[in-house]
Amino acid sequence: MPRTPARSPSRPDPSALPDPARLDWRRGPPDAADPRGEPGWAASLPEAAAADRRLIQAQLGRDVRGSVAVAARCRYGLPAVVRTAPRLPDGTPFPTLYWLACPAARVAVGRLEAAGWNALLSGRLAAEPELATAHAQAHAGYLAQRDRIERLQAKQRALQAENERLERERARLRDPAYVQQLAKRDFHLVEPGEEAWVMRGTPPAAAAPAAAPATPAPKQPWYKRAWQRFAGWLR
């Protein structure tokens, strides 16, 4: 395998950099054979092999947690961009779907950021509606890929939980007493000398709870009762 450069790229001459205000962002007609814009493309990437995982950890300088796949490789065949999962194994959200793993590419991008490209390109987004629309569409595709992976992860967790339940059930089926219990409960099988009784029909409905006794009205004071009697005499 060809070796990577021994050192980072030299610092570029600022005058040799393209003007971010004049960069042509429009691409040619979409390639029908390019699936990278599809919502399910990121989820279809295979899990990184053990050798690639060690390379990615060496490139990033830290351990890689959770699912990771190689999304793009450099000209030397090394991982350049990696795809992560929206959630770590413990359920912690992980918002970044794609990571730039190549150290040389990270240095180059860092120099562009230091030159103020983020602010300049943000200004173009605010000033050019067509560019803003394309950016919003790309961001929507990014979110769709993240959502597809998160749904697949949730489905995988549910299948794993069901598999664990079935494994526990299989372990219980090794117990003769449990098998005998299932035979009696589900198949109405009995031991010699025992009788099986099967109750048919609809079980009686539960009796409605008795109504609570009415609360007696509070007793009026004596002077109100006296006034009511006196008013009745005057009618």
- Output the tens digit of pLDDT for each of the chain's 235 residues: 444 444 545 555 666 677 777 778 776 665 566 787 788 888 889 999 999 999 999 998 989 888 899 999 999 999 999 999 888 888 788 878 898 999 999 988 888 888 888 888 899 989 999 989 988 988 898 888 888 888 888 888 889 899 999 999 999 989 988 888 888 888 888 888 887 777 777 777 766 666 666 666 666 665 566 566 655 555 5
Residue 203 belongs to some domain of the structure = no
Cβ 56 vs Cβ 49: under 8 Å: no
Closest CA to 65 of 99, 89, 43, 33: 89
Per-residue DSSP letter, 84: E
Cβ pair 65, 89 in contact under 8 A? yes
In a domain, 159, yes or no: yes
Q: What is the pTM of this model?
A: 0.60
* Residue 197 included in any domain: no
188 to 27, 47, 180, 182, 202: CA distances (angstroms)? 71, 49, 10, 9, 19
Q: State how many domains the chain has.
A: 1
Does residue 156 fall inside a structural domain?
A: yes
- What is the spatial distance between Cα 59 and Cα 79, in angstroms, rounded to a whole number? 9
Range(s) of the domain holding residue 69:
35-167
Kindly state whether residue 62 falls inside one of the protein's structural domains. yes
Is residue 71 situated within a structural domain? yes
Task: List phi, psi (to 5°) of 81.
Answer: -130, 135
d(CA 36, CA 26): 17
Determine, yes or no, domain membership for 22.
no
Domain annotation covers residue 227? no
